[in-house]
Amino acid sequence: MEQRTAAVAGGAADVPGFETGLREFCEFGRRTRVVAFPDPEVRLPVYVNEFWTSKQRAAHSLHEISYRACFKPQLPRFFITRLTRPGELVHDPFMGRGTTPLEAALLGRRAVGSDLNPLSARLLEPRFDPPELGEVAERLASFDLERATEVPEDLLAFYHPATLRRIVNLRDELRRRRNEGSMDRVDRWIQMVATNRLTGHSPGFFSVYTLPPNQAASVRSQRRINRRRNQAPPDRDVEALILRKTRSLLARLEPADRARFARADPRLLTASADRTPAIAGGTVRLVVTSPPFLDVVNYRADNWLRCWFNGVEGDKVALWHWTRAADWQMAMTRVFRELHRILAPSGLVAFEVGEVRSGRLLLETVVVPAAREAGLEPRLVLVNDQQFTKTSNCWGVDNRRKGTNTNRVVLLQKA
């Protein structure tokens, strides 16, 4: 069905053809429902179905980097395959771990992404030029991770003293290479993988059992976890865990992928979503993104340990965070004005939003006026509805708390 629908749309920004594909979609055994937009003053079709699978294993192995509030690769793939042609430019102004740019490159499109957090580029750039496993092993063997060094005592809440010594030595060696300008693709890969292995809730991470790897507990919270579970950090083989994760990330990498990455000419910007002068006007065919939501995620708190390892002063990164819907709407209006500038004529924005405040606020009702004020025309809403319970009420909260079982995407177009 996916190949047939893409052919109908011609791989171009053909919204009527795309809508036809949504109405006829039944790949997972369900028919599409068309329901009313939640604001009765807005006439906008809402298409509800399970449009892509939730199974992470269906995606390329290079995507398997954890980051808070990231969407599955199947989401950008759905829009990229249907609304762009190979060689066209795809952008994500809130790229996070880089799902959209990476998926665009894997599909033969050119890729650009931006994020205020410098960690984003460091998590994505190495995956566009992955080293071989042997290169990583050789480089790790050249590091002296066992030498005596001072360690931050607070971090012993997460790590065995020997493990923490290895982490600090690795961090310092990579920082030295970056400061000297000698850091290469293998070093950047090791830094990215180590960043991803810092904390988690399985033996595949450097730490003792803690929160899932897309967020970091505070030192105080981790001490409470240790007391509650009566646990102490075990000694971990840092080098072995980096090689194990490298092997997993490279599992599905083919020579053709490397060739596509070279043609994708990826550009990764550390920039605010509403100010991306490095992107020329009228050049982007499709934007696929998910903005920071209201009240939901504190990216600074979730990434404090990653910032420490990467030498990033997280407190000095002016990450966006709002508690008032009016402030969020004003910020999104600025973003939409910038997207209007960089979009090609008839270019599209797939803007994934979630429900907040236990479903009492649906952000698509805020997106529509913000987009219109910026000159973008809302065309439809797509709801990817994964039916984990017997009842189905995609706008309600009974079985969709915090938006975890649905993706709602507002499709906008530049006139």
Question: Tokens for 57?
Answer: 């294993």
Assign 100 a pLDDT band (cuts: 50, 70, 90): very high
Count of beta carbons in the 10 Å neighbourhood of residue 36: 12
Least confident of 48-52, 120-124, 168-172, 322-326: 322-326
- 340 found inside a domain: no
pLDDT at 181: 96
Assign 223 a pLDDT band (cuts: 50, 70, 90): very high
Instruction: Tell me, yes or no, whether 163 and 60 share the same domain.
Output: no
Assign 249 a pLDDT band (cuts: 50, 70, 90): very high
- 220 found inside a domain: yes
- CB–CB of 415/377 below 8 Å? yes
Q: Is the pLDDT of residue 194 over 70?
A: yes
Count of beta carbons in the 10 Å neighbourhood of residue 101: 30
- 309 found inside a domain: no
Assign 11 a pLDDT band (cuts: 50, 70, 90): very low
Residue with tokens 């934007």: 287
State whether residue 89 is helix, strand or coil: strand
Rounded percentage of the chain residues whose pLDDT exceeds 90: 74
Instruction: Tell me, yes or no, whether 142 and 53 share the same domain.
Output: no
Q: How many Å apart are CA 203 and CA 234, to the nearest integer?
A: 9
Q: Which structural domain, as residue segments, surrounds residue 58? A: 1-64+361-370+377-415
DSSP state of 277: T
Question: Of the candidates 205, 229, 249, which is a domain's last residue?
Answer: 249
Question: Of the candidates 222, 249, 276, which is a domain's last residue?
Answer: 249
Cα atoms in the 13 Å half-sphere on the side-chain side of 250: 19
pLDDT tens, position by position, 250-282: 999 999 999 999 999 999 999 999 999 999 999
Q: Of all residues in the chain, what percent are helix, strand and coil, respectively (each to 5)?
A: 45, 15, 40
- 315 found inside a domain: no
pLDDT at 116: 92
Q: How many Å apart are CA 55 and CA 403, to the nearest integer?
A: 17
Q: How many Å apart are CA 220 and CA 122, to the nearest integer?
A: 28
pLDDT at 55: 53
State whether residue 55 is helix, strand or coil: coil
Between 115 and 313, the more confident residue is 115
Our CA dihedral for 409, 284, 260, 192, rounded to 10 degrees, sits at -70
Assign 297 a pLDDT band (cuts: 50, 70, 90): low
pLDDT at 53: 75
Assign 318 a pLDDT band (cuts: 50, 70, 90): confident
- 335 found inside a domain: no
Q: Is the pLDDT of residue 399 over 50?
A: no
Q: Is the pLDDT of residue 56 over 80?
A: no
pLDDT at 395: 39
Query: What residues form DSSP beta bridges with 270?
Result: 115
Question: Tokens for 74?
Answer: 């199947």
Least confident of 123-127, 140-144, 145-149, 311-315: 311-315
Instruction: Tell me, yes or no, whether 146 and 235 share the same domain.
Output: yes
Q: Is the pLDDT of residue 406 over 80?
A: no
pLDDT at 38: 87
Strands (E), 166-322: 267-270, 284-289
Question: Of the candidates 249, 277, 296, which is a domain's last residue?
Answer: 249
- 350 found inside a domain: no
pTM for the structure as a whole: 0.90
Instruction: Tell me, yes or no, whether 137 and 240 share the same domain.
Output: yes
Query: Containing H/E element for 414?
Result: strand 406-414
- 9 found inside a domain: yes
Q: DSSP for 332-372, please give it.
A: HHHHHHHHHHHEEEEEEEEEEE-EETTTTEETHHHHHHHHH
Number of domains within the chain: 2
pLDDT at 359: 56
Q: How many Å apart are CA 348 and CA 44, to the nearest integer?
A: 16
Rounded percentage of the chain residues whose pLDDT exceeds 70: 87
Cα atoms in the 13 Å half-sphere on the side-chain side of 229: 15
- Mean pLDDT, rounded, for 190-207: 96
- 56 found inside a domain: yes
